[in-house]
């Protein structure tokens, strides 16, 4: 993993960079290592130090984050970088309590940064560690109610020395050996004391409270292209879902059929099919409408972005799905977005 220090480098005295550890941990919240690696590499190449990130334009950071999801993380990433650059001299605080004061840093991230970057004996409890603790101590209380109990057990195991190595090791044990479906107990260093394995219950653990089914919301996205090729986009408000991201103007997203919220006067055509996307708390079905508009038309919502400045990769995934539906997946290099299959 590009944010890790190799054992040989650690022996040679190389310390992990708190900036890189913090960024990796923020990116990894709710996201897999495979999805994060390229984003992490791009971010750290473009902004190698926290002061570089602090000086970045909001739109550039949101554009680089597009596709990684949970966009509040990107806004907090920027806020946090600016606080560290402006109020802490560009150096991340080295205590758990001071890290917790920073924007977007909760108990887990504070523990990860203070243990991995500063070797402080703080306890990390991510989903992987929860699974390992539940199995190791045969805990049958379902998650999320089991979290405090699992934290107490995890804290008792956290060593005072080499806390950073331990934190990474226990997370890796969960990610690679004590996996959800086929744990490799035969090569696990904790196979002898593991109470779940001894009781034969480990495969059922951790228990989880069943989730409620997600509701389905509906909405309309309006993809308008001016005759010179420019697209009509809006920057969404900072607060709320996809806050601060670029997107297509649209209706409210609700569990009832959507009502039109046309952003510019034009001949709108509804595209066959719908763009579907799943958020944490609901499924979304977006109807997509497209229009070509003349040069002199002024939008009621949003602003036109020139074709040579428009990068679909700057859009969050749901908006990219709407764009793909509008264009039939064709690369848009000329002002012809209307698909033949309109309703
Ligand atoms: S022995 Fe098996 S169940 Fe227990 S911690 Fe190791 S991998 Fe997980």
Q: What is the DSSP string of 22-75?
A: HHHHHHHTTS-HHHHHHHHHHHHHHS-SHHHHHTS-HHHHHHHHTTS--THHHH
| Ranges in the chain, pLDDT < 70 | 329-343
pLDDT at 335: 53
pLDDT at 341: 42
| pLDDT tens, position by position, 227-272 | 999 999 999 988 888 988 899 999 999 999 999 999 999 999 999 9
> Which residues approach ligand 1 with their CB closer than 6 A?
132, 135-136, 177-178, 183, 185, 188, 190-191, 194, 196-197, 202
Active site residues: 25
pLDDT at 74: 92
pLDDT at 342: 44
Are 335 and 225 in contact, with CB atoms under 8 Å apart? yes
Instruction: Provide the whole-model pTM.
Output: 0.76
Q: Which atom of ligand 1 is nearest to the CA of 174?
A: 8
pLDDT at 10: 84
- The one-character DSSP state at 134 is H
pLDDT at 45: 97
Task: List Cα–Cα distances, 255 to 215, 219, 249, 260, in angstroms.
Answer: 7, 9, 19, 15
**Inter-residue long-range contacts of 176-181, CB under 8 Å, 24+ positions, other chains counted:** 178/128, 178/131, 178/132, 178/135, 180/131
pLDDT at 337: 55
127, 173, 188, 201: residue to mutate for ligand 1 pocket, most atoms within 8 A of CB: 188
| pLDDT tens, position by position, 44-77 | 999 999 999 999 999 999 999 998 988 889 999 9
pLDDT at 336: 54
178, 195, 198: residue to mutate for ligand 1 pocket, most atoms within 8 A of CB: 178
CA of 188 to the centre of ligand 1 (A): 6
Compute the distance between CA of residue 334 and CA of residue 321 in angstroms, rounded to an integer.
19
CA angle (235 as vertex; 231, 238 as ends), nearest 5:
170
């Amino acid at each position: 993993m590009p944010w890790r220090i190799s054992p040989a480098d650690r022996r040679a005295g190389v310390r992990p960079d708190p900036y890189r550890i913090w960024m990796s941990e923020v990116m990894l919240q709710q996201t897999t290592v495979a999805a994060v690696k390229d984003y992490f590499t791009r971010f750290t190449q473009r902004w190698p130090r926290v002061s570089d990130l602090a000086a970045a334009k909001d739109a550039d950071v949101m554009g680089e984050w597009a596709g990684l999801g949970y966009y509040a993380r990107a806004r907090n990433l920027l806020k946090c970088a600016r606080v560290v650059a402006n109020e802490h001299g560009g150096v991340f605080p080295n205590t758990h309590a001071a890290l917790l004061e920073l924007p977007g840093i909760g108990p887990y991230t504070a523990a990860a940064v203070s243990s991995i970057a500063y070797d402080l004996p703080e306890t990390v409890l991510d989903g992987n560690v929860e699974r390992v603790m539940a199995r190791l101590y045969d805990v049958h209380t379902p998650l999320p109610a089991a979290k405090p109990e699992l934290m107490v057990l995890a804290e008792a195991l956290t060593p005072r020395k080499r806390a950073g190595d331990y934190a990474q090791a226990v997370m890796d044990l969960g990610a690679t050996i004590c996996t959800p479906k086929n744990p490799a107990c035969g090569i696990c260093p904790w196979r002898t004391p593991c109470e779940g394995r001894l009781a034969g219950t480990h495969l059922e653990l951790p228990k989880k409270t069943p989730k409620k089914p997600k509701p389905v919301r509906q909405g309309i996205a309006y993809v308008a292209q001016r005759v010179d090729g420019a697209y009509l986009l809006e920057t969404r408000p900072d607060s709320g879902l996809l806050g601060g991201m670029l997107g297509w103007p649209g209706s409210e997203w609700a569990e009832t059929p959507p009502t039109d919220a046309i952003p510019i006067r034009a001949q709108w055509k509804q595209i066959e099919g719908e763009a579907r996307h799943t958020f944490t708390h609901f499924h979304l079905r977006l109807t997509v409408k497209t229009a070509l508009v003349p040069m002199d038309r002024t939008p009621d919502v949003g602003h036109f972005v020139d074709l040579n400045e428009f990068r679909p990769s700057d859009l969050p995934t749901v908006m990219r799905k709407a764009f793909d539906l509008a264009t039939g997946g064709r690369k848009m290099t000329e002002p012809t977005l209307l698909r033949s299959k309109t309703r």
